[in-house]
Every structure is written in C-alpha cells, then in structure tokens.
Amino acid sequence: MDFGTIIGLIAGIAVIAYGMFSGGDVSSYIDVSSMIVTIGGGICSNMMGFSLADSIKALKVLPLIFKEPKSSAMSTIRTLVELSQKARREGLLALESAQSELQDDFLKKAMELVVDGIEAEIVKTTMQLDIDSMAVRHQNAQAYFKGLAGQFPAWGLIGTLLGLINLLRSLDDPSSIGPAMALALVTTFYGSILANFVCNPIISKLGGNSAEEIRLREMMMEGVLSIQSGENPRLMEHKLKTFLSPDQRAEYEAASKGQEKQEGPRP
C-alpha cells in the first residue's frame, strides 16, 4: 500500500472540505444536475476518442495507484547475482530448477529462453519487445486520463454557460440571480476539482510507476544477458548498481556487507 497517495488523498479532501465549510452553506456546492453535466459529459466525450476496451483497461489500472511496486530494484539485483553465481558454479542448465522460485514473470520468461539455449541477440530482442509493448500499454492508460483532465474543465465551462443562459431567462426575479449564479459556477468547480485533484495526480502516478517498471525491466535484461555470457557475478553486480540512486546504492551496499559478515565472503 502506497501511504503517500493515501495521505495526499485524505489531506486534499480535508482541504477542500475546509474551504467549503468556511464559506458557509455546504449545500450550495452540491448539485446533481451539475455533476451529471460535468462528469457525464467529460466521460462520454473522452470515450468517443478511445475504444471501449481502452476505457475498461484504463479504469482497471486505478487500484494500482494505491499499491507499491511488487519488485524492488535492490531485491532484483540480489536475485540476479544469486542466479549468476549458480550458473557460474553449475552451468546455465542448473538455472532450470531456480525458475520456479522467481516471482517476476518477465524475468522468469527470460531465464527460460536462456536455459533453452536461445541466442543472446534473440533473447535481447524478445525482452526489448516486451518492454516496448508494456510502455505502449502504460502510455495508453495515461493518455486516457490526460483526455479526462482536459474534458472535465471544458464540460464544467459548458455547465456554467448552461447555468448562465438559465440565469438570463430569470432576470425579472432579482432574488433568484444570486443563487442561480452560484449554481452556474458549481460546474466549473467540479471540472477543476476532477482535473487537478483526480486526473492529474493519477497521470503523474502512472507515469512514475511506468518509468520505474521500465527501468527495472531494463536492469533485468542487462542482468540476464550478463548471466548468459558468463560474466563475473561481481562485475555484473557492479554494473547493475548503476541503475540505483545514490541512496539506494548506499543502502544496498550496507545490506550486502551485513550479509557477508553473517554468511562469509561470496565466491
């Protein structure tokens, strides 16, 4: 569970609620017809630009913004180093028994290719195509929410125009002008909230998760190719650590030193 997203969501709702309550009557911010125009119009317009399958896939990724990535770069490096050491001691065929213990499907499929004796160039091409396909899927999901981020404010403005038209029709009743004007502006409020508090954070989160997953898979690809070529595990580990941030690298090295003290030097 990603607590940063949850904290930001709760705090953002609290800030909006504070602004609504401090302004007086909260009921003035609630109007069903304005919600239907802003939310319904924005979703319908966005669906016109995407296939139904794309819309369903985009909605399915929403739970992912609250989850931490399944694999971490540091644990992946440790796994690749262990596989490299095993292959160096017992040969590539010995990795067949270790495949069942791998949690990541991308890494597992890559190791299957290596054990089957597929040429390194084909292994690299296959893994790169898999990464590219994943990046396209992620971009499609981000594009869907980018579309919503543009549609909601636009439909909020449309709702405001509809409200102003109704307002002008009732100018003969001065007492209704204030409430009608407030109601006309509510749709713009809804559109701004949906775009800036819902869609834009989702886009940022999906983009960050996608970049991290691509970087992790590229690191896996580099490690798998190093294992296949029989590269020294120490050299491979040093190369893979370049994918880590300075803080992650320091944490990884500290953990590795602690593990070496407990288990003794690695071969």
Higher pLDDT, 163 or 233: 233
Plot region of 91 (φ>0 → left; ψ -120 to 50 → alpha; else → beta): left
CB proximity list for 12: less than 8 A, separation 6 or greater: 197
Plot region of 8 (φ>0 → left; ψ -120 to 50 → alpha; else → beta): alpha
State the pLDDT at residue 264: 55
Written as one string, the DSSP assignment of 252-265 is: HHHHHHHHHHHH--
pTM over 0.75: yes
State the pLDDT at residue 33: 86
State the pLDDT at residue 125: 96
Q: Using DSSP, how many helices (H) and how many strands (E) does the chain show?
A: 11, 0
State the pLDDT at residue 39: 94
Number of domains in the chain: 1
**What's the pLDDT tens digit per position in 83-119?**
999 998 988 888 888 888 888 899 999 999 999 999 9
Average pLDDT, stretch 232-236? 92
pLDDT higher than 90, residue 240 = yes
| Number of Cα atoms under 13 Å in the Cβ half of residue 197 | 16
Higher pLDDT, 46 or 172: 46
Average model confidence (pLDDT) across the chain? 88
Average pLDDT, stretch 202-211? 93
**What's the pLDDT tens digit per position in 16-64?**
988 888 866 788 788 888 899 999 999 999 999 999 998 998 888 888 8
Length of the chain: 267
Percentage of the chain with pLDDT > 70? Answer: 93
In angstroms, rounded to a whole number, what is the distance separating the alpha carbons of residues 44 and 113?
A: 45
Q: How confident is the model at residue 164 (pLDDT cuts 50, 70, 90)?
A: confident
Smallest CA-to-CA distance from 222 within 52, 80, 42, 41 is with 80
Longest dimension (CA), the chain: 91
Single-letter amino acid, residue 109: K
pLDDT higher than 60, residue 222 = yes
Contact yes or no for 101/253 (Cβ under 8 A): no
pLDDT higher than 70, residue 265 = no
User: Three-state SS for 232?
Assistant: coil
Q: How confident is the model at residue 123 (pLDDT cuts 50, 70, 90)?
A: very high
Domain of residue 16, residue span? 3-21+28-263
pLDDT higher than 60, residue 267 = no
State the pLDDT at residue 184: 78
Average pLDDT, stretch 247-263? 78
State the pLDDT at residue 177: 72
State the pLDDT at residue 42: 95
Quick one: 21 exposed, middle or buried, by C-beta within 10 A (0-12, 13-18, 19+)?
Answer: exposed
In angstroms, rounded to a whole number, what is the distance separating the alpha carbons of residues 215 and 68?
A: 16
State the pLDDT at residue 156: 93
State the pLDDT at residue 261: 62
State the pLDDT at residue 263: 58
